[in-house]
Structures are given as C-alpha cells and as structure tokens.
C-alpha cells in the first residue's frame, strides 16, 4: 500500500468537469453588459517603416465606431513585456541592460504586426470594417532579418542605445570575458587529439497555444483597472500594468481566466497594455479584445532563432578536454527576453557534461522579425539540437558508442548544475539511459542499422538533457500562501500559482491535502485573483510544483502547528504526545482522549460557552497558516530520449517509428498528468526537430502565420511512445518531486537529429530537418543509398 | 445588410435567429446565443476547436459554416452532450484518462470523437488518429485523448449503438 493518501494518484483534474463540457471561461468567452469591442490595428505591409500619416477620419464616420486611440492619445511610457527586470535584483537588472522599448501604439514600425492604433466599437465586425478604413501612409525603411545583416556596417540601427543592433551580450562583470563556463577552454583545446567544429541554425518555433490571445479590461467607476487575462504570470502583469498606467497596485486587479495554453507565450504581458489603454479611455465600459490567429502569430513572441557555433576537443579515449560555443540569437524587433535566453542557452550547455574546460558566449541581435521571447525550454531546445549532434559526431570519429559516452561524461549528483557553483542534489540519468536503451533495444538496433542497404534507411538516436525546477538562484523565486480553516474544518488554500493547463491547481491541491492529512474534498484552491492572492512569480522555469508545492507544505505545517497547540490545551497533553489521523488529533498512549479538527476550527470561530462552567471552549481565533516562501533550491531533473525512425533517401521524408522518453522525475505526484507533460512536450520537440518554423521573406514579412502553412504534429504524426519515470525522491522536492514541464520538450529534438545521423551518416545542421534539407544534404555528401 | 431568419435546434432547444448572410455558425453560437463552449482557435478550419455535431452524428467546423445554411438542422455542442447533469461516455472518459490539459481543444475533440464513435463504435487506434487529424491539441501529445476515445468506445453507450 502506498505511504500516501493522494500523492501519486491520478485524481480527476480540478478543472476537468468544466473543461470537458466547455463551461470553463477563457478571456474570449467573457460577455458583460454594455461591453464594447476593441481591435488593435497593426502594420501588416511592412516590417520596418515610419508612419508618415495616420488618417482615422473615415473610420470614425462608420456607425458603431466609438473611439480610435492613436499613439498621442495614450501614455507615452514605454515597457518591456517580458517582466525579467522585475524578477532580478535592481543591480543585476542594471548590469543586464534590459530595455523598456515597447510602446502602446507606435509611429515607428519595428516588425510586421506592430500596433499602430486601437479601435473601440460596438462589435468585432464593426472594428474590422473600421480598420479597413484607416489610412496609414508609411515610409518604408531597409529591413534586417538575420543577426548577420544586423551587424553589417550599412544596417539600419533599431535602437541607438545598443551599438550594431547587438541587444545583448553576456555582460562584464557578471560574466568575465563576456563568457560563461570554467577553465581556460582555448588553452585546453590545444591538448585535444580530435577536434570537431560547426555552425548550426536553430529555428523560429511558435508556441501555438490553442487559445489566441484575448482580454477584457474595465476601468471601473471606483477608478480601478480590471483586466481579465489568460496570462501565465498574473502577479507580474499586475505590477507591470500598475507601473505602465501609474496606478498603485491596489487600483489594478488581474482576473486570471482559464488559460488556453501557455508554453511561455504568456509570460509577462502580451496585449494587456493595448486592451487596458482602451478601457482607460472609456471609464466604466468593459472592452474585449480578441486577437485573430494570424495576428497572434506575427505580433506575439516566439522561440529565439539564431546561429550556434560549437567547437569541441577530445582525447582519443573520449575524454572531453574543452568546449567552446557562441550563440547569436535573433531577438526580433524588441528587446523582450534578449538577456534571458542567451544566458540560459549556455547554462544548459554548462549543466550537461564534464568538459575539461568550457567557454560559452551568448549574444542577441535586433532584427525586423516578430520579437522572440519565452518558449517552453527557454534556450534548452536550441542547445540540445546542437550539443547532442556534436557529441554524436565526436563519438563517430572516436568510434565510441554515443550511449556509453554519455553514461561516462554526463554530469551527476554533486557536479555543478546549470548555475555554476550550485551542485546537483540528485541525478538518475544513468538509470534513464539504461532503461531507455533496453526499451528501444539500443544495442540490437545500432548493430542492425549499421548494415543497411536500400533507399529507405532506419536510424536510432539518443539525446540527454538537464533542466531545472524553478529559476533559483538566478531569478526571484517567491510564493506567498495562506491556508485558512473554515469553521467546519475544511481548508481554503489561497495561492497565486498559475494553472496554465498543466494541472498546477490539481497537483497543489494534492500536496495540500496530503500535507494537511485532509481528504481532497475538504481542501479548496483559491487562485487566479490578484485581490486575494499574494505574491507569486507565475508559471515559468518549471517551478510551480516544486516552489508552489514547498510554499504550500510550509503553510500546511503552520496550520498543523496551530491545530496541535490547541489540541494540546483541550486534551491537556504535550504536543509531542499527540498524533493526527482522519482529521482527529489524539493522545498517542490514550487515543480515547481526542478532538476533531472540525471542533478545534469551530471553537476558534464561535468560541462557544461551556454551559456548565460558563467559560469559552477551546482557543479563540480562526486558524490561518501562512508561508512567504523564498526558494533556495532548484533540484534539476535529467532525461534521455531515444528515437527510432526511417528516412526515405529518395524523397527526404522522415517517418517516426518508436520513441522512448525517460525522465528523472524524483516522484510523479500525479502520474497521468506527468505523462501528459511528457507526451505534450514531445509533440513540441519533434515539431521543432522536423517541421516547425515561422518563415519570413527578405522584406521581413511572415510567410506562414496560420495552421494551414505551419505544420505541427497531429494525432497521426506522433510515434509509438513509451514513457519511463525513474522515481528516486529528491531530498528537496515536495514529496521528492522534480520538474517535468519544460524538460519533456528538450531531448526529443537531439534524439531525432541523431537518429537521422544514424540512418544516413549525415548531420543536418539546420533545424527543422525538412525533406528538402535531407535531400540537399544527401546530394552534397555524394553518398549513394541503394 | 442582407439577413436571413433561420429556424434550427441547438442542444435540443428550438431557436429562431436573424443573422447576416455572412455570419458563421461559430459567431452565431458564441456571440448571438452566447454559447461559448464552442471555441475559436484559427477561423480557417485547421484546428478543430469549433467542431460541433449536426443532425445527430456529422461533425463540422462551425467557423467554416454559414448559419444561413442551417435552416431546419439540429446542432449539438459539448454542453449539449450533458444529459440531466451527467457527462456523456466520451466526456467521462476524457476526465478519467486525464485527456484534458488547457482544455481549449477539448470541446472540439469531444465532439469529433463522439461523431466518430456514433458512426464507428469500435474504431482501431489508427482510425481514431486519422479521424482526429483535423483537431489540433498543443498540450497532450494526443496519447491520453486516444486512450479516452478507446475507453468510451467500450462503454455501454457505444456498445449498444454497435448492436
């Protein structure tokens, strides 16, 4: 029998019933009396242009149009949607040099989809008709689409505060010599007997959360700004909107609606500023802004594309003596996450293998593409595509099995994790590799696939990854939580953690029930309300189970401490003589002396008088447990993916056959939800490896901002998948758990690329690995497959 | 503006609506009737979030259907599958198999799966995957959804339908 009552059980998700009947309310589902509709008019014709003239007169004449907001009609304050500056200490933020470079509406277009003005009208349809009547005269400016073009001497400069369009490089003094790593990699490289070096391209993948961004905002008659948003960081949005509109936080309220997928797309702000500006212009009237899919695509953030150079040196026995790397990211038209991603991209590299020395440099460049930002994995997918292919290339040269090499040289418990100086608290990567290899039949398949003939070639590949459980110590990891007992002994957990579909509320509910020793039904989660909830940084960095869970456990401890103290008074016994079971506290050696939790809670609220003595019963006061939890740990998980696929060398087409996903999870608190994360992460990872990229033409205009032209994996595209969790509890995680959310996306990328390498003996250095690239690579290699 | 008055049934309720000729069924459901259980995901018939059932067992994309063509037809949405407060077999299976994450694709997935099982109560895994190709889920990787459809397929409702 399990030692736990609800941990490790597949309880129904808290929100399953309302979602399966369509009754869950997303922002776009909100209808209010007297509600008006807003539309953000965007520049779709140019990626870089000045607005010479904005003529709204014809649009204003259209019946049903109420107001049109131009750049001069709204606050001139600038902002950065990413919220990174709020999450780092002020001194660190100053060193990172983040820019607040976004405007509510602009007369200077820095990417296709930039916002020009905002229409308020009686219906969405009238908004659309009015938008067609707005005349904008543009002066087209030269366009840059790549980091190479950005540094060209003749390139237009997008922000005068950043020379040569370099938005970011790892800054001194935090990163001596603008690099991250250890040892002297350049000198160590001289000792190498085998050196490999290459430059890779990583792709601009789109989160494609199923719910297009939508909001309702109302500046109510009390002068409070209300915003109904599906953001994944409601508290940071609360702070950001308060700063932008110069209102105290007490006059801003975020109502987090059901979130139709996050994946990083909703970190910080998206289109809340424009929606709120419209609401501020119409006091009392709720305004709904529903973005179209094609608009969401070009105007909101994506994964960072970029060029990734890597050089590695080895001894002939496989000892990795040095690694040097440089990631040049494409941050697009605005700064957003320009400082965060080039750091973590190198951090995941630093966390993976015991190189003799490592030197990583990361930079980010302004271009006229849609801004890049946060996307599940946050730099890790880019590193996985490059690092894991480089390791397999080295293993081929060294004639070492890539599985065995990883088993020997991957980091483990006690080694520095992605944050150098912080050791891994646990690591089950060797077990992941061992069980994964058995499940995919690694040895047999590698032997078998080495002697293939014919035009269709099978390949099996492996890749490993490390990630994190929260961003401590780099970024603020604070969650405030209270747990109040109702007078019937049921509990209300008040916490600002963000359920973005991953099931945060359910797993936190399980943790609370388990830690309190209450049934699930006796615990209710109060979330998504910035008036009620205290600080929580939001859903990012795979933190919610780990950090939110530990905050809840701390608050549960506070509740139980109070219950035991009061029980000790009522039962006339010491606290250490007491035990709790079935919501009843009893004296261990005399269980007939006991009191129900409900009685203690009731007595605290009502203070009933004992009719015999006339004295109040129990201790006064409603019980509330509090935790303001600052997380110091980040217990990173590891994982290994194995992919078995077939390449048709005549068409370049790749067919996935089998995949094994292994994960060092510590403890799967809700196994079915954890498996859901693994399968879902793989859907993104396989897409990044094989099909997904937002393409732009040379004018910086998007070529595939729709599900028609952007291919993500459907139900028939997914390979047969086996999931293996290695459950060895981590000493810090709640009930031993480590994260699973982002991590699941990462190693399917490298494993797929390595399986292609195993099939063809050729590596494709540009993601995604499309049939065209496969055919081109085969042609260039001169190899014949028949 | 050219309008049409349409008599049709939505979730067993007889309704009359007057709509512009260009109004889609999705707009009528969500805006005019305020039935927001049918979702807007792309507006181009690619994602399936707006899938509803017409005349018993045919699934359609509400975003590509003009309301003016719905005269005399019967529409069922995810909410309409709930009878006397009880979830349908497909809905039950989506809950018990944890086939729901963000839930935005869920109503459409449920309608598509229901339509499949009404026509083919015992589909193979391949048939389920094929049928669901027009419904995108960005959260689950489809695995739990396929299992939910298989589970619903063996439930009483569909076993009876197969007889």
pLDDT at B160 over 80: no
pLDDT, tens digit (0-9, with 9 covering 90-100), for A98-143 = 999 999 999 999 999 999 999 999 999 999 999 999 999 999 999 9
Whether residue B138 sits in one domain with residue B96: yes
Helix, strand, coil tally for chain A in percent (to 5): 30, 25, 45
Whether residue A604 sits in one domain with residue A516: yes
Between the CA atoms of A104, A110, A114 and A118, what dihedral angle is there, to the nearest 10 degrees? 40
pLDDT at B1 over 90: no
Whether residue A490 sits in one domain with residue A626: yes
The two beta strands, A638-648 and A624-630, are: unpaired
Q: Please give the ipTM for the structure prediction.
A: 0.97
Count contacts between A and B (CB, < 8 Å): 185
The nearest alpha carbon in chain A to B78 belongs to: A21
pLDDT above 90 covers what percent of chain A? Answer: 98
Whether residue B94 sits in one domain with residue B75: no
pLDDT band at A85 (very low <50, low <70, confident <90, very high): confident
Under 8 Å between Cβ of A183 and A734: no
Task: Please give the residue range of the domain that contains residue B120.
Answer: 89-162
Whether residue A332 sits in one domain with residue A466: yes
Whether residue A507 sits in one domain with residue A542: yes
Show which of B81, B114, B130 is a domain's final residue: B81
Q: Are A501 and B139 inside 8 Å of each other by CB?
A: yes
Burial letters for A363-394: b for 16+ Cβ neighbours within 10 Å, e otherwise?
Answer: bbbbbbbbbbbbbbbbbbbbbbbbbbbbbbbb
Q: What's the pLDDT at A92?
A: 87
Q: Are B105 and A681 inside 8 Å of each other by CB?
A: no
Could you say which of A673, A682, A707 has the minimum Cβ distance to residue B42? A707
Instruction: Indicate whether A154 belongs to any domain.
Output: no
> In total, how many domains does chain B have?
2
* Chain B residues 93-152 with a CB less than 8 Å from chain A: 94-98, 100-107, 110, 126, 128-130, 132-133, 135-146
pLDDT, tens digit (0-9, with 9 covering 90-100), for A31-59 = 999 999 999 999 999 999 999 999 999 99
Under 8 Å between Cβ of A239 and A296: no
Show which of A582, A597, A630 is a domain's final residue: A630
Whether residue B93 sits in one domain with residue B141: yes
**Could you identify the residue written with the tokens 């990883």?**
A406
CA distance A421 to A174: 14
Instruction: Indicate whether A687 belongs to any domain.
Output: yes
* Chain A residues 644-673 with a CB less than 8 Å from chain B: 670, 672-673
pLDDT at A665 over 60: yes
Instruction: Indicate whether A119 belongs to any domain.
Output: no
Q: What's the pLDDT at A91?
A: 87
CA distance A657 to A170: 41
How many Cβ atoms sit within 10 Å of the Cβ of residue A449?
16
DSSP state of A441: T
pLDDT, tens digit (0-9, with 9 covering 90-100), for A254-281 = 999 999 999 999 999 999 999 999 999 9
Whether residue B132 sits in one domain with residue B70: no
Q: What's the pLDDT at A89?
A: 84
Whether residue A416 sits in one domain with residue A381: yes
Show which of A630, A654, A682 is a domain's final residue: A630
CATH number of the domain enclosing B24: 3.10.20.30
Enumerate residues 6+ apart whose C-beta is below 8 A from A492. A483, A484, A485, A486, A524, A526
CATH number of the domain enclosing B115: 1.10.150.120
> In total, how many domains does chain A have?
2
User: Which residues in chain A are contacts of B34 at CB distance < 8 A?
Assistant: 31
Instruction: Indicate whether A9 belongs to any domain.
Output: no
Q: What's the pLDDT at A90?
A: 85
Instruction: Indicate whether A169 belongs to any domain.
Output: no
Mutate to test the interface with A, among B46, B90, B141 (most CBs of A within 10 A): B141
Q: Which of A462, A480, A82 is nearest to A264 (CA)?
A: A82
Show which of A605, A630, A655 is a domain's final residue: A630
Could you say which of A22, A26, A292 has the minimum Cβ distance to residue B79? A22
φ/ψ of A186, rounded to 5, equals -65, -45
pLDDT above 90 covers what percent of chain B? Answer: 93
Mutate to test the interface with A, among B143, B146, B147, B149 (most CBs of A within 10 A): B143
Instruction: Indicate whether A577 belongs to any domain.
Output: yes
Kind and range of the H or E run holding A114? none
Mean pLDDT of A81-104: 91
Show which of B81, B113, B130 is a domain's final residue: B81
Task: Please give the residue range of the domain that contains residue A637.
Answer: 305-472+633-781
pLDDT, tens digit (0-9, with 9 covering 90-100), for A497-524 = 999 999 999 999 999 999 999 999 999 9
Q: What's the pLDDT at B162?
A: 52
CATH number of the domain enclosing A566: 3.30.365.10
Residue B58 preceded by cis peptide, ω within 30: no
Instruction: Indicate whether A565 belongs to any domain.
Output: yes
Whether residue B120 sits in one domain with residue B64: no
User: Which residues in chain A are contacts of B149 at CB distance < 8 A?
Assistant: none
Whether residue B145 sits in one domain with residue B107: yes
User: Which residues in chain A are contacts of B75 at CB distance < 8 A?
Assistant: none
Q: Are A707 and B77 inside 8 Å of each other by CB?
A: no
Helix, strand, coil tally for chain B in percent (to 5): 40, 20, 40
Between the CA atoms of A331, A337, A341 and A342, what dihedral angle is there, to the nearest 10 degrees? 60
Q: What's the pLDDT at A84?
A: 87
Mutate to test the interface with A, among B103, B109, B111 (most CBs of A within 10 A): B103
Enumerate residues 6+ apart whose C-beta is below 8 A from A91. none
């Amino acid at each position: 029998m399990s030692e736990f009552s609800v941990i490790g059980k597949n309880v129904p998700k808290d929100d399953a019933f309302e979602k399966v009947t369509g009754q869950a309310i997303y922002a776009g589902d909100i209808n209010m009396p007297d509600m008006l509709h807003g539309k953000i008019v965007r520049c779709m014709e140019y990626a870089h242009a000045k607005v010479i003239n904005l003529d709204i007169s014809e649009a204003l004449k259209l019946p049903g149009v109420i107001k049109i907001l131009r750049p001069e009609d709204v606050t001139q304050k600038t902002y950065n949607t990413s919220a990174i500056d709020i999450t780092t200490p002020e001194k660190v933020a100053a060193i990172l040099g983040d820019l607040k470079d976004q405007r509510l509406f602009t007369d200077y277009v820095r990417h296709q989809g930039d916002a020009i003005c905002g229409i308020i009208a009686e219906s969405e349809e009238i908004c659309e008709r009015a938008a067609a009547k707005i005349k904008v005269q543009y002066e087209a400016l030269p366009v840059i689409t790549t980091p190479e073009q950005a540094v060209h001497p003749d390139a237009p400069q997008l922000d005068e505060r950043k020379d040569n369009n370099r938005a970011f490089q790892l800054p001194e003094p935090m990163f001596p010599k603008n690099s991250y790593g250890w040892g002297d990699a350049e000198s160590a490289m001289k000792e190498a007997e085998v050196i490999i070096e290459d430059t890779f391209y990583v792709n601009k993948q789109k989160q494609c959360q199923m719910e297009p961004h939508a909001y309702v905002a109302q500046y109510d008659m009390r002068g409070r700004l209300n915003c109904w948003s599906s953001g994944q960081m409601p508290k940071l949005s609360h702070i950001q909107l308060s700063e932008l509109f110069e209102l105290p936080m007490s006059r801003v309220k975020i109502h987090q609606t059901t979130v139709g997928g996050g994946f990083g797309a909703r970190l910080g702000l998206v289109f809340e500023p424009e929606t709120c500006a419209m609401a501020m212009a119409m006091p009392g009237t709720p305004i709904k802004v529903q973005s179209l899919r094609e608009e969401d695509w070009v105007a909101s953030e994506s994964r960072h594309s970029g060029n990734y150079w890597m050089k590695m040196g080895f001894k002939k026995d496989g000892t990795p003596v040095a690694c040097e790397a440089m990631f040049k990211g494409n941050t697009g038209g605005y700064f957003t996450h320009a400082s965060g991603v080039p750091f973590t991209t190198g951090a995941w590299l630093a966390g993976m293998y015991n190189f003799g020395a490592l030197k990583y440099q990361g930079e980010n460049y302004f271009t006229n593409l849609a801004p890049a930002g946060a996307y599940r994995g946050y730099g890790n997918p880019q590193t996985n595509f490059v690092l894991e292919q480089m390791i397999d290339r080295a293993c081929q040269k060294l004639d070492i099995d890539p599985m065995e090499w990883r088993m020997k040289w991957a980091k483990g418990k006690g080694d520095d994790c992605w944050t150098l100086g912080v050791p891994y608290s646990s690591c089950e990567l060797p077990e992941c590799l061992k069980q994964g290899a058995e499940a995919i039949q690694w040895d047999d398949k590698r032997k078998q696939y080495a002697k293939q003939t014919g035009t269709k070639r099978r390949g099996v590949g492996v890749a490993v990854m490390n990630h994190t459980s929260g961003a401590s110590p780099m970024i603020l990891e604070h969650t405030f939580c209270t747990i109040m007992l109702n007078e019937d002994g049921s509990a209300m957990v008040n916490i600002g953690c963000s359920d973005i579909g991953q099931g945060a509320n359910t797993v936190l509910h399980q943790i609370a029930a388990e830690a309190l020793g209450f049934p699930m039904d006796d615990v209710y989660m109060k979330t998504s309300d910035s008036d009620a909830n205290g600080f929580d940084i939001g859903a990012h960095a795979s933190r919610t189970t780990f950090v939110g869970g530990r905050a809840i456990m701390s608050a549960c401890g506070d509740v139980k401490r109070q219950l035991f103290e009061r029980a000790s008074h009522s039962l006339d016994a010491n606290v250490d003589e007491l035990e709790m079971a079935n919501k009843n506290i009893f004296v261990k050696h005399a269980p007939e002396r006991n009191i129900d939790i409900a009685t203690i809670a009731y007595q605290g609220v009502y203070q009933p008088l004992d009719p015999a003595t006339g004295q109040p019963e129990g201790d006064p006061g409603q019980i509330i447990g509090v935790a303001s939890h600052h997380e110091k740990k980040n217990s990173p998980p590891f994982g290994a993916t194995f992919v078995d696929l077939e390449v048709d060398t005549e068409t370049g087409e790749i067919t996935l056959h089998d995949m094994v996903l292994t994960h060092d999870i510590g403890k799967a608190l809700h196994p079915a939800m954890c498996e859901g994360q693994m399968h879902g992460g793989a859907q993104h990872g396989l897409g990044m490896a094989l099909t997904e990229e937002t393409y732009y033409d040379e004018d910086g205009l998007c070529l595939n901002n729709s599900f028609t032209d952007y291919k993500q994996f459907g139900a028939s595209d997914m390979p047969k998948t086996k999931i293996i969790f290695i459950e060895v509890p981590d000493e810090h995680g709640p009930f031993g758990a480590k994260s699973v959310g982002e991590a699941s996306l990462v190693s399917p990328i490298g494993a797929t690329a390595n399986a292609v390498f195993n099939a063809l003996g050729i590596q494709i250095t540009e993601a995604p690995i499309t049939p065209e690239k496969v055919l081109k690579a085969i042609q260039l290699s001169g190899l014949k497959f028949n | 503006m050219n309008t049409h008055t349409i008599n049709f049934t939505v979730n067993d309720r007889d309704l009359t609506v007057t709509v512009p000729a260009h109004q889609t069924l999705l707009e009528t459901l969500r805006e005019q009737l305020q039935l927001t259980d049918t979702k807007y995901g792309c507006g181009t018939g690619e994602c399936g979030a707006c899938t509803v059932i017409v005349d018993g067992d045919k699934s359609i994309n509400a975003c590509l259907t003009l309301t003016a063509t719905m005269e005399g037809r019967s529409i069922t949405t995810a909410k309409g599958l709930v009878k006397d407060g009880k979830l349908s077999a497909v809905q039950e299976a989506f809950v018990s198999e944890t086939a729901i994450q963000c839930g935005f694709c869920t109503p459409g997935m449920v309608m598509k799966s229901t339509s499949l099982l009404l026509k083919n109560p015992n589909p193979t895994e391949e048939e389920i995957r094929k049928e669901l190709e027009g419904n995108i889920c960005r959260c689950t990787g489809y695995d739990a959804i396929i299992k939910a459809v298989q589970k619903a397929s063996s439930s009483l409702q569909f076993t009876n339908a197969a007889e």
